[in-house]
Structure 1
Amino acid sequence: MNLGDTFPDFEVDTTAGKLKLHQFIGDSWCILFSHPADYTPVCTTELGKCVQLEPEFQKRGVKMIALSCDDVPSHEGWSKDVMNFAKCSTGKLPFPIISDKSRDLAVKLKMVDPSEKDNAGLPLTCRAVFIIGPDKKLKLSMLYPATTGRNFVEILRVIDSLQLTMNKKVATPEGWKQGEKCMVLPSIPQEGIDKVFPKGVTIQDVPSGKPYLRFTPQPE
């Protein structure tokens, strides 16, 4: 899939019962993330962090859904370990986990890591991240190997940028965080720029003399 493509719809078994992805997303944003297997150390830290950050995702109108090649009963048992690691001794996992025991979905979405295999010699899913917009289009994708855990605080930062830049005529610079200065898009002409950005625009001087580094406070 390329960025901007409509994300495939599919019906799957999950810890929350059968669901269709597009129906699950509804008018929300969605993060679909895969992990190699249940009862594995790195995955437990990742899902535990997702449990802790769930209020932050919810605040941004983002639904989370995970996937691995194990079955639903395995997911349900492992979820108790995840909740314990997240220091949430009561309650259920606040997001569903997809069962993809056949690996059909992992293959379709190109989430298989050929270098990582289970005890039967079958390839495991890599650590994929797909961010899907309310329009069901792919906004961002990242692939991590099984040995490298993801940073979900960074994924929240990316979602902040995606949601801001989808509606405002700005881009976000390296390391940008909510509330910091943004960059004016190159397609915005300098003439009349004060009307577009009433908070003002600052141009940084560079040796080339080209006025392309234009900063503005984050639009409301």
Structure 2
Amino acid sequence: MGDAAPAFRARTTMGLRTLGAYRGRWLVLFSHPADFTPVCTSEFIAFAQAHAAFQALGCDLLALSVDSLSSHLAWQQSIAQHFGVRIPFPIVEDPGMGIARAYGMLPAGATSTATVRTTFVIDPEGIVRALTAYPLTVGRSVAEILRLVGALQASDAADISTPEGWRPGDPVLTHPPMTGDEVGACGADWYHRLERL
């Protein structure tokens, strides 16, 4: 976190993509262990259904796995046929695991991505602002990733912090006082004061 996201250029289900093409917008880059798997399919359906909500935040979605482009395209078509869901974001092929390694998704000697389910939230300046990693058997929460992007944007815009479970419109945390006099003026809850924006 806090480092520049590694640059890449790769083939996707929507043509060639570079990380630089997303500059100026938020980006959720998320990897999945394999196409045509149960947990990954559930996640892709959820990401597709939340796509408009991410777009409303000025945030794009970009998926990645080591599967081939032809596999990605076949899986997309299968999801559309069997679940009635169109995948509205690109899926990157990374057969040589170069992007996965550059992002630290894999242990040094890994020969497969069977355990990789990583999410990176990248800001408009190309800086990694948050990341999560999940095991093969546990799906991530798309609603939480959407909430996370909104919370990062709110804290950037108003120089505040957000409490546990914060959602847009909820009270935010103000910065604690820095001197003894300020502490005395704030009252007993000086270290945890909520206010509405």
Q: Same fold (TM over 0.5)?
A: yes
Report the residue type matching 1:107 in the other structure.
R
| Structure 2 counterpart of 1:76, from 68, 73, 78 | 73
Q: Which residue of 1 aligns with 2:59?
A: 62
Asked if residue 111 in structure 1 is aligned to residue 84 in structure 2, the reply is: no
Q: Which residue of 2 aligns with 1:156?
A: 146
Cα gap change, 1:85 to 1:171, in 2 (>3 Å): farther
Q: Unmatched 5+ residue regions in structure 1?
A: 193-202
| Structure with higher strand content | 1
Q: Distance in 2 between matches of 1:31 and 1:94?
A: 14
Q: Relative contact order (C-alpha < 8 Å, sep 6+): which is higher? A: 2
Q: Which residue of 1 aligns with 2:158?
A: 168
Aligned-residue sequence identity (percent) comes to 34
Cα gap change, 1:190 to 1:50, in 2 (>3 Å): farther
Q: Deviations over 1:90-132 (max 9, x none)?
A: xx52100000111121122121379xx9xxx734351100000
CA offset at residue 87 of structure 1? 3.0
Q: Which residue of 2 aligns with 1:213?
A: 192
Task: Report the RMSD for the aligned CA atoms in angstroms.
Answer: 2.4
CA offset at residue 212 of structure 1? 1.4
Q: Unmatched 5+ residue regions in structure 2?
A: none
Asked if residue 9 in structure 1 is aligned to residue 7 in structure 2, the reply is: yes
Report which stretch shifted further, 129-138 or 12-21: 12-21
Cα gap change, 1:60 to 1:123, in 2 (>3 Å): closer
| Structure with higher helix content | 2
Q: Distance in 2 between matches of 1:83 and 1:187?
A: 54
| Structure 2 counterpart of 1:184, from 153, 174, 193 | 174
Cα gap change, 1:160 to 1:124, in 2 (>3 Å): same
